[in-house]
Chains A and B, each alone.
Chain A
Amino acid sequence: MLHLIVLLLFAFMSMGASADENGPDRSAIEKGRYLFHAANCYACHTDVDKDGAPLAGGRQLDTEFGIFYSPNITPDNETGIGKWSDEDFIRALTRGIAPDGRHYYPGFPYLSYRNMSREDILAIKAYLFSQPASSRQNTPHRLEWYLSQFTLRIWKILNDLVVKPVTFDGSRGSYLVDVLGHCNECHTPRNVVGMLKMENRLQGNEDLSAPNISASKDGIGDWRRQELADLFRYGELPDGDYAADHMGEVVDNSTSKWVDEDLDAVIEYLLAE
């Protein structure tokens, strides 16, 4: 009899587990929340200056190629990503292709995200789908005349053929710096057509006023570990100033939320480069 009760209890618990699997997976959402911050999705996909709804896009990004407006990534079925499947989301993050086949411009850092694990990508998706939907319509980009889906596809083919891919050495530090944090996108210089010059990785991009953060004398080679920790945690720079503009946002939305182990891994990685 006791065996029967235990068996029934176990079956009941298993049924409960199955039901959970069909609903939101809390652990994936929590994991996704951390990864979402590490990947700094909030800053680009929220129009903070105009008090826009979180993740509803519309943030204006001024570049030499025109003005980009980030898209709505809330789970709204019509204006956001509510209808996206897992495979749609993975393809967007790793190949820069939307569910309808359109290609994303490289302002979206899929060239860095392409090394993200499938499990992590889906955890981010789970987190995004747990957030409130916004019906904000996407704003079309205002780009230079020569930019189109056609030229973008040629750019992507050439980029894959000619340019060294964004580095990822398999370490946690590299995963946070090169993949999730997509630091190369701003801190690595680009050529005239906007391709990353990976041979000069992390050596700064003057066009974006992004400094050299390589472990050289011109970069952060002379920084102490504590100085890097204070920058990532509090935005404090060694000269007593504080990180401004985009880097201030990176600190606020992303690096200040790293757990201690990740902070250590990033410092280790950056100073060893």
Chain B
Amino acid sequence: MKNSISLLLGLYLATAINLHVQAKDYESEDFIEYRHEIMEAIKGHNKAIKAILQEKVPYSDHLDMHMKSLEALLGRVGELFPEGSDFGETKAKDAVWDNPEKFKQSVDKAQEAFATFKAVVAKGDNRASLDAFKQFGKGSCGNCHKSFKKKDD
């Protein structure tokens, strides 16, 4: 009996501490900044891929690295906007949290657009890859920003 009470008390405390940590994280500007940095990282890889495909830089052997990084980051975007994180200085529109299903569809669409782009890149035709990159950008970042990002001030 004593063991059961201790176990329940332990579980209660663990849950309470976990909730407290989450709430603390959500209240922090660090959370927003982290989200922003992930978005900046996506932008950075996007720009790097474009520069490589345009042959503006001699780093074609970096293409695979940027593609893998971009794919990994795009796969995490949905996690960055959990319920209750609609606070602070953010460019995200209320629609992200008001309509989470629609937002999820938009994130899924971005990942599908990346898969299409990746398939074209795998064929090794630079010109076709550059065209596919533009379609990918419109169908992923562009599509999401249209509905879920505020304009710059």
Q: Is B one of A's binding partners?
A: yes
Residues of A within 8 A of B (CB): 48-49, 206, 208-211, 230, 233-236, 239-249, 251-252, 256
Distance of A233 Cα from B139 Cα, bound (Å): 12
B62 contacts the other chain (CB 8 A): no
Distance of A35 Cα from B149 Cα, bound (Å): 28
Interchain nearest-CB distance for A46 vs B (Å): 13
Residues 10 to 27 of chain B near chain A (Cβ within 8 Å): none
Contact (Cβ within 8 A) A230 B151: no
B6 contacts the other chain (CB 8 A): no
Interface centre among B50, B99, B151 (most CB of A within 10 A): B151
User: A211-B152, A236-B134 in contact; A245/B142 too (CB < 8 A)?
Assistant: no
Chain A residues, CB < 8 A from B152: 209, 211, 244
21 A–B contacts from the bound complex (CB under 8 Å): A206-B153, A234-B138, A235-B141, A235-B142, A235-B145, A236-B142, A239-B43, A240-B44, A241-B43, A241-B145, A243-B145, A244-B91, A244-B145, A244-B146, A245-B93, A247-B151, A248-B146, A248-B147, A249-B146, A251-B142, A252-B143
B115 contacts the other chain (CB 8 A): no
**Chain A contact residues: helix, strand, loop or mixed:** helix
Tally of B interface residues using CB under 8 Å: 24
Closest to B39 in A: A241
Contact (Cβ within 8 A) A240 B46: yes
Contact (Cβ within 8 A) A242 B151: no
Distance of A209 Cα from B151 Cα, bound (Å): 6
Contact of A49 among B43, B47, B95, B143 (CB under 8 A): B95
Chain B residues, CB < 8 A from A248: 142, 145-147, 149
Interchain nearest-CB distance for A11 vs B (Å): 51
Contact (Cβ within 8 A) A209 B91: no
Contact (Cβ within 8 A) A252 B44: no
Closest to A208 in B: B151
Contact of A234 among B43, B93, B134 (CB under 8 A): B134
B135 contacts the other chain (CB 8 A): yes
Closest to B138 in A: A234
Interchain nearest-CB distance for A121 vs B (Å): 28
Interchain nearest-CB distance for B42 vs A (Å): 9
Contact (Cβ within 8 A) A233 B95: no
User: A242-B145, A246-B151 in contact; A49/B137 too (CB < 8 A)?
Assistant: no
User: A48-B147, A211-B152, A235-B145 in contact; A242/B95 too (CB < 8 A)?
Assistant: no
